[in-house]
Chain A
Amino acid sequence: ETGVTQSPTHLIKTRGQQVTLRCSSQSGHNTVSWYQQALGQGPQFIFQYYREEENGRGNFPPRFSGLQFPNYSSELNVNALELDDSALYLCASSLVSAGTQYFGPGTRLTVL
């Protein structure tokens, strides 16, 4: 059974640029959630995808967007990067309506 994988591991961007992060869900899971974890903080829910549609969103602006593909993998896109977007971005997969979510290793994004 393959766990949740994310790419890239690290990324450095400058303010105003756009970034795309990728996630492959754990085998058999049909739901993907994205979280932002600032240094020293708990993860904050960005949004969740199920059946290729957004299925719940946290308090993040529209420049945070996502996609889910038929194989349940997912992308997180962030436009017009700001310095405060520097964080660890975590992807979690689960079965729909299940509380248990399994996290990937994360992508460390640094915005200069």
Chain B
Amino acid sequence: QQQVKQSPQSLIVQKGGISIINCAYENTAFDYFPWYQQFPGKGPALLIAIRPDVSEKKEGRFTISFNKSAKQFSLHIMDSQPGDSATYFCAASAITGTASKLTFGTGTRLQVTL
């Protein structure tokens, strides 16, 4: 059962454009939604994260929009740069006692062209 659905699978954006990646979740117990960036052969690096009591969070060129009623959240990358070319994963977690596990989407491969 895929609890976090991510789209699109791949994305090509011109330099300076806006990249938008969408995720939807099913488990209403999720209470933390991070986005990770991963380059080939490297581990995922935390980009930005949001909790469901906030509808939007912005850090530099990266913005998360969160719609609790629709159970959807998205990542917007403004002024996309070639260095942003990587795979992006959305994730969600629910804390149960002392345990917390991340459930990841399937990833979006972003290519930013010149």
Contact = CB atoms under 8 A, between A and B. Distances in A.
Interface of A: 4, 6, 31, 33, 35, 40-45, 48, 50, 55-56, 58, 90, 92, 94, 96-106, 108
B22 to A, nearest CB: 15
Interface string B31-44: 11010100001111
Given A55-B99, A56-B100, A99-B95, 5 more contacts: A40-B107, A42-B105, A56-B99, A99-B93, A100-B32
Contact of A42 (B43, B100, B104): B104
Interface of B: 6, 31-32, 34, 36, 41-46, 49, 51, 89, 91, 93, 95-107
Given A42-B106, A42-B107, A106-B43, A98 B101 contact: no
A17 B99 CA distance: 31
Given A90-B43, A103-B44, A96 B93 contact: no
B87 to A, nearest CB: 9
A58 B101 contact: yes
